Amino acid sequence: MSDHRFGVSTHLFHESRLTRDHLVHIAAHGFETVELFATRSHFDYHDEKAVAALAEWLADTRLELHSVHAPIFDGLRAGQWVGPFSSGASDAAERDKAVREARAAIDLARRLPYRYLVLHLGVPDAAPGATRSNQRDSARRSLEEIAAAAADAGVEVAVEVIPNVLSSAEALVDLIEEQLDGIDVGICLDYGHAHLMGDLGEAIECVGGHLTTTHVHDNRGREDDHLVPFAGSINWDTAMMETQKIGYDGVLMFEVADTGNPIDVLTRAAAARERLENTFVTFEELPQEP
C-alpha cells in the first residue's frame, strides 16, 4: 500500500444540501478525508448551526476535514452558477465580495479546524466576463488579503490550477516566487484542469516544491468533465509517477462530478483509488537511479 491518503470533495453532492448521509457514504467507501465545497446552497458556512452539525457528522464518520474550497459563487440552480465571485475582478465591489466570502470560509477554521483553503484566482477563461474578472493586480491584492486572514486562523491558502491566464502551473509558480513578498501560499494541483491546459507531466514538475494539496479527476481533453480517474484520457500511471518523483506525499482529493448516481460514482472512485495505490507501489518497487 502507498503512504498517500485519499479524500473526496463534497463537490460530488454540490447540487444538494450537504447531509450526514453524504459523509457516511464517503467513509463507507474507504476514504479518510474530505474537502468541503463552500457554496451556500450546498453548505451555509455563515450558519453557526450548520457548522455545529458538520462538526458532529465528521466526528461520527471519523472523517478529517482536510480542506475547504473557497466560495466561487453564491449558489447552484439547475446546474447553473448564481452570483459568481471573482478574486480578480476589476470592479472593487465585486472583488471585495469575493474576499469577504473567502474570509467567511476561513472563519470556519476557528470552530472546525482544517488545513488548506483552496482558492481560485479569477474565473475560468470560458466564463462570461472573464477578461474583467481575471485582472492580475486585483487577484494579487485579493490573495494577499485572504492569505493574511488565513494565517491568522491557522490555515494555508492553496491557489488552484484552473484554465485561465492567472492560474496555469507556470503563472502560479511565478506569482509565488517573484511577486508575493514572504507570504506563505501553496498550490493545489488540479490534474483535470492541468490536462485541459496542456502537458500534465510538465505541470506536475513545474509546481514541484509548492504543491500542498490536489484535486484528482479526469476528462477527455476537451471539457472539464470531472470524471473518475481512468474514465478519461489522462495517463494516470505517468501522472502518479511524476507526482512521486517530485516528492508529494499529501492527500489525493477526488473532485468528481455526480453523473446521476453519486453512490455509483463513489464505488467507481474507490476502485480508481486502488488502481492509483497500486501505481505508487509499482513505482516504489522499481530500481531507482543512483
pLDDT, tens digit, for every residue of 27-69? Answer: 999 999 999 999 999 999 999 999 999 999 999 999 999 999 9
Give CA separation, 248 vs 104, 175, 192, 241, in Å: 29, 21, 17, 10
What CATH architecture does domain 6-283 belong to? Alpha-Beta Barrel (3.20)
Residue 227 has pLDDT above 90, yes or no: yes
For residue 69, the surrounding DSSP H or E stretch is strand 64-69
User: What is the pLDDT at residue 289?
Assistant: 52
Q: Are 112 and 118 in contact (CB under 8 A)?
A: no
Per DSSP bridges, beta strands 73-77 and 80-84 are: antiparallel
Segments making up each domain of the chain, as ranges: 6-283
Mean pLDDT is lowest, of 120-134, 212-226, 275-289, for 275-289
User: What is the pLDDT at residue 288?
Assistant: 53
Mean pLDDT is lowest, of 45-49, 77-81, 157-161, for 77-81
Q: Are 75 and 39 in contact (CB under 8 A)?
A: yes
- pTM score, two decimals? 0.95
DSSP labels, 239-264: HHHHHHHTT--S-EEE-----S-HHH
Which letter does DSSP use for residue 30 in this model?
A: T
Mean pLDDT of 265-276: 98
